[in-house]
Structure 1
């Protein structure tokens, strides 16, 4: 049986909910309804919709705030939100886009217009999801962030890893806001299962959109491999592991909570044991050993 797209309709007016429920179900969609923004938050904790129709003005939490909260959840970043509003002033429309919406329709809603906009945005979302899934299959777990560390989009696997590290917020843990032309330096983020997330800067897509690659590693296992295969001490294995991942002495010192001078001393011992003369040769050997097992 073919899966039906799920539309979440959020509106405090029963008449609008009824009209849209009938219209969307007749068009073949699965419809979820919520009469408040708070109720919508409860719904999306259990089910991820494919698209959301959100009333902009509701008692209590308004639609703009509800959308902002949704977009803090890494798994909901790529879900399109269409605002329904009687507000036609340009600043109100801008508020909707700033909150993370992709479009808006004017109340009272015209069913045919709603169906057309939903169809268009679902098609765009499917193309985006397909592209992101293809990156995951290729082993490229990617995400884009702005200079404040807010996640703009993420491939499905990257999104899953982010939820493990930070289940509530869609901002990267440990991120420091960046000045213009400054590149991110993110410390590894521990996961509950003992692995660590590592973020690597790939490039800049737009002036305010940075592309990062995320990987989940098991330092203890890899440290044990380096220690046993190369005859290193536990601390030397830790230093070599991060050296092999391209970290500077300063980065290694921060990660392992030791002084840069101590890192240098460990590196001297590592070079001697491995019979190499420089960082590049030691890093290459570490990568080769870990790649083999």
Structure 2
């Protein structure tokens, strides 16, 4: 069975049983994939510091560090947030299945491994993971520097650009950021509220967007800009009037026509008339597309 990729899929197999590794390695290579082997958890963590595989096949029970703890440790690295981890175990009882899923796994197969079934499951999870990464890359392209944390400020996922700013494993100051986020979120901020944040010696701010499923705090990382500089950049790039650039700037900041009218001291109807001209000059049809154009430009300033 051949997985449908434009490049070779990289699989990390974490297992202390040599016979099992040999069988899986043969099946993966026959399917056109590259196999990385770790004989125990710490070795898998070492490999993960230099290489991010497309999928991980994890033995549940290993000496020193079991597969559940290894998976948890791997998932602390934001680069692994979308990487599917499939547990391989001779234990099919509910307790161990739940432990694997709680540790960050997406699926499990029981030993002895049926390689045809394993490859089919991998195909599904790889397609889902690539779709998620594609969506986050698209958000990055649109200038939407988004990430999500839990109530304790622990990073759950991020778009690629934010990952470069907030990489948990490579950012010594991240524990301080985590503590600030935990304290701020503990006050239950309303959507749209922001908190100043110092990241890599750069003054930024974090905007709270929404609470998803009562556990995932969706945030946006922003670089504070001088309003006059921002409107000047919009005006020059898109050949807008002063008022049109003001309206576009607030559209990019997620404000409604009513809110923009209050800020700029004009009626919502006047705001809408300015927007019609903005859409025409940007060659877009709606405020979402206009906001994306503005955000992309301002992200480069």
Secondary structure in 2 matching 1:109: coil
Match of 2:198 in 1: 190
Match of 1:45 among 20, 38, 49: 49
- Structure 2 unmatched ranges of 5 or more: 231-249, 254-262, 265-297
Q: 1: CA distance between counterparts of 2:209 and 2:96? A: 36
Corresponding pairs, count: 229
Secondary structure in 2 matching 1:176: helix
Q: 2: CA distance between counterparts of 1:190 and 1:180? A: 20
Match of 2:149 among 145, 149, 163: 145
CA offset digits 1:126-180 (Å, max 9, x no partner) = 1111111111100001112222222222111121111189637798352226569
- 1:1-293 to structure 2, matched below 5 A, reads 2-163=6-167, 167=171, 172-176=178-182, 178=185, 187-192=195-200, 194-216=201-223
Q: 2: CA distance between counterparts of 1:174 and 1:166? A: 18
Q: 2: CA distance between counterparts of 1:164 and 1:150? A: 9
Distance 1:196 1:19, change over 3 A: farther
User: C-alpha displacement at 1:61, in angstroms?
Assistant: 0.7
Secondary structure in 1 matching 2:88: strand
Task: Please say if residues 81 and 100 of structure 1, whose CA atoms lie closer than 8 Å, have aligned partners that are also in contact.
Answer: yes
Task: Please say if residues 73 and 167 of structure 1, whose CA atoms lie closer than 8 Å, have aligned partners that are also in contact.
Answer: no
Distance 1:82 1:215, change over 3 A: same
Q: 2: CA distance between counterparts of 1:195 and 1:50? A: 32
Q: 1: CA distance between counterparts of 2:169 and 2:8? A: 31
User: C-alpha displacement at 1:57, in angstroms?
Assistant: 0.6
CA offset digits 1:58-99 (Å, max 9, x no partner) = 000111111111111111111111111111221111111111
Task: Please say if residues 88 and 109 of structure 2, whose CA atoms lie closer than 8 Å, have aligned partners that are also in contact.
Answer: yes
Q: 1: CA distance between counterparts of 2:128 and 2:196? A: 34
CA offset digits 1:213-237 (Å, max 9, x no partner) = 11345x8xx69x89xxxxxxxxxxx
Secondary structure in 2 matching 1:46: coil
Distance 1:59 1:164, change over 3 A: closer
Task: Please say if residues 153 and 178 of structure 2, whose CA atoms lie closer than 8 Å, have aligned partners that are also in contact.
Answer: yes
Q: 1: CA distance between counterparts of 2:170 and 2:132? A: 23
Q: 2: CA distance between counterparts of 1:183 and 1:40? A: 41
Match of 1:257 in 2: none
Distance 1:204 1:113, change over 3 A: same
CA offset digits 1:245-270 (Å, max 9, x no partner) = x9xxxxxxxxxxxxxxxxxxxxxxxx
Q: 2: CA distance between counterparts of 1:197 and 1:164? A: 17
State the TM-score, normalized to the length of structure 2. Answer: 0.67
Query: What RMSD in Å do the two structures reach over aligned CA positions?
Result: 3.2
Task: Please say if residues 173 and 189 of structure 1, whose CA atoms lie closer than 8 Å, have aligned partners that are also in contact.
Answer: no
